[in-house]
């Protein structure tokens, strides 16, 4: 797309937005609220977007509605998806706004962490210790060198689905103790058990301020390039920025770090003008906040964003 075409597209988009906003003019006195919900580990990221948005649009209140296994009333849904789920775009369907790597972790005090934070955990070992696999070849199973207890989510959870899918399983195949609660609770459970191992998105593994792994947790290094060895180049876990940098540098061929797509979607039916405004604003500005909260920039193209926004408008017109 050359510059002229870009300008043309932006002009059309601007006119369209203006028209839509005028169509959905608010009645005086009506609260202008946008409700957003979704996977909880994205809330800090969303809140940062909301705070920035509020500076520019003080009349629109954006509220995060906490999500459980059933969705609350919402305008915008931020969910986690497997990368493969986005290969066939659906009109009005979700748009990827970030990627979230998911890494195996352990209680830092565990003998498992002490051993495997040095040697790393390869695909075969992960398949053996994390997953219930009745068809596994027991003779070829890798014997862990230290005791462990796996913690996983009881309810369907994007991080769990991503982690399981990366190794060829489903979330239900993950063995071990199940946590009824959120991903944050899962990490808390790991911190409480000195034999615990689990998995978590970067957003919950690293301290967003210090940029280092949260106290009490240890990352179990994975064979990031899947070559059967753990080289020094793959020891990328000192800070969250190191991980993000590695991930973004190896985008497209970093197949052995589980990662899911954080996607944005809207509820079925009419979309309010304020919702539209917030979505548009967020799509344009979220990228600069991603690294702060442990997310990786997605490869979403501007045309995909435009297409998504247009589809929202068309949904309204229906």
Partner 1 sequence: MSTLVRAFAAAMLLQLSLPAAAQQQLEGIVRDSDGTALPGATVAIPGTGNYTVTAPSGAFTLSSKQPVPYTLSVRLVGYKPVQVEVYEVTDPLEITLHSDGFLSEVTVTARRRSESERDIPIPITVVGGVRAEDAGAFNVNRLKEMVPSVQLYSSNPRNTTLNIRGLGSTFGLTNDGIDPGVGFYVDGVYYARPAATTLDFIDVERIEILRGPQGTLFGKNTTAGAFNITTRKPSFTPSGTFELSFGNLGFVQAKSSVTGPLNKIMAARFSFTGTQRDGTLYNVARDEYVNDMNNLGVRGQLLIAPKENIEITLAADASRQRPNGYAQVVAGVVTTQRPAYRQFNAIVEDLNYQLPSLDPFDRKIDHDTPWRSDQDLGGVSLNVEWQLGRGTLTSTSAWRYWNWNPSNDRDFTGLQALALSQAPSKHYQWSQEVRYSGTLNQRMNVVGGIYLLDQSLKTDPYHTEESGADQWRFSQSNTSDLWQTPGLLDGYGIRTFSTLDAFGAAAFGQLDWSIGEKFHLMPGVRLNYDRKQVDYDRQTYGGLDTDDPQLIAIKESVYSGQSFTTDVSKTTFSGQVTLSFKESSRLNAFATYATNYKPVGVNLGGLPTSGGQPMLALAEVKPEYVQHAEVGVKTVPVAGATADLTVFNTSIKDYQTLVLNSQLGVNRGYLANAESVRVTGVELEGSWRLEKRLDVRANITWVDGRYVEFKEAPSPLEDTGGEPFKDISGEVLPGISKWAGSLSAELSSNATHMLGLEGNLFFAADVYYRSSFSSSPTPSPYLMVDGYELVNARAGFRTTRGLSIFVWTRNAFSKNYFEQLLVAAGNAGHYAGVLGDPRTFGITSRYNF
* Residues in contact with partner 1 by the rule CB under 8 A: 68-70, 132, 134, 138, 143, 147, 151, 154-155, 172, 175, 177-182, 185, 188-189, 192
Q: Alpha carbon of 194 to those of 1, 108, 150, 217: distances in Å? A: 55, 8, 11, 10
Measured from the CB atom, the residue of 13 and 154 that comes closer to partner 1 is: 154
DSSP per residue over 48-76, as a string? HHHHHHHHH-TT-EEEEPPP-SS--S-SE
Measured from the CB atom, the residue of 110 and 289 that comes closer to partner 1 is: 110
The minimum distance between CB 151 and partner 1, in angstroms, equals: 7
Measured from the CB atom, the residue of 98 and 217 that comes closer to partner 1 is: 217
The minimum distance between CB 132 and partner 1, in angstroms, equals: 5
State how beta strands 259-266 and 76-81 pair. Answer: antiparallel
Measured from the CB atom, the residue of 70 and 209 that comes closer to partner 1 is: 70
The minimum distance between CB 184 and partner 1, in angstroms, equals: 9
Measured from the CB atom, the residue of 131 and 295 that comes closer to partner 1 is: 131
Three-state DSSP at 170 gives: coil
Contacts of 52 (CB under 8 A, 6+ apart): 285, 289
- Alpha-carbon dihedral 54, 183, 251, 78, rounded to 10 degrees: -40
- Alpha-carbon dihedral 81, 82, 83, 89, rounded to 10 degrees: -60
The minimum distance between CB 185 and partner 1, in angstroms, equals: 4
The minimum distance between CB 161 and partner 1, in angstroms, equals: 14
């Amino acid at each position: 797309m050359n510059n002229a075409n870009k300008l043309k597209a932006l002009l059309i988009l601007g006119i369209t937005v203006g028209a839509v906003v005028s169509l959905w003019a608010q009645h005086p006195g009506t609260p202008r609220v946008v409700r957003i919900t979704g996977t909880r580990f994205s809330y800090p990221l969303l809140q940062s977007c909301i705070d920035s948005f509020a500076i520019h649009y003080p009349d629109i209140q954006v509220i995060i509605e906490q999500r459980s296994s059933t969705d609350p009333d919402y305008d915008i849904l931020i969910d986690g998806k497997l990368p493969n789920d986005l290969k066939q775009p659906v009109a009005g369907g979700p748009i990827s706004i970030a990627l979230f790597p998911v890494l195996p972790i352990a209680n830092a005090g565990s003998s498992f962490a002490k051993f495997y934070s040095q040697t790393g955990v390869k695909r075969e070992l992960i398949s053996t210790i994390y997953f219930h696999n009745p068809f596994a070849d027991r003779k070829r199973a890798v014997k862990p060198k230290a005791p462990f207890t796996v913690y996983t989510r009881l309810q369907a959870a994007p991080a769990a689905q991503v982690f399981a899918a990366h190794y060829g399983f489903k979330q239900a195949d993950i063995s071990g103790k199940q946590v009824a609660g959120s991903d944050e609770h899962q990490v808390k459970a790991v911190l409480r058990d000195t034999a615990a191992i689990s998995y978590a998105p970067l957003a919950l593994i690293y301290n967003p301020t210090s940029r280092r792994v949260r106290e009490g947790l240890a990352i179990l290094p994975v064979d990031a390039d899947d070559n059967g060895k753990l080289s020094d180049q793959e020891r990328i876990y000192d800070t969250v920025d190191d991980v993000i940098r590695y991930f973004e540098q190896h985008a497209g061929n970093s197949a052995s770090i589980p990662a899911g797509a954080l996607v944005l979607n809207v509820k079925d039916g009419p979309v309010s003008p304020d919702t539209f405004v917030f979505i548009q604003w967020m799509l344009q500005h979220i990228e600069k906040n991603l690294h702060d909260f442990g997310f990786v920039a997605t490869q979403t193209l501007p045309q995909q964003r435009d297409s998504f926004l247009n589809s929202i408008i068309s949904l309204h017109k229906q």
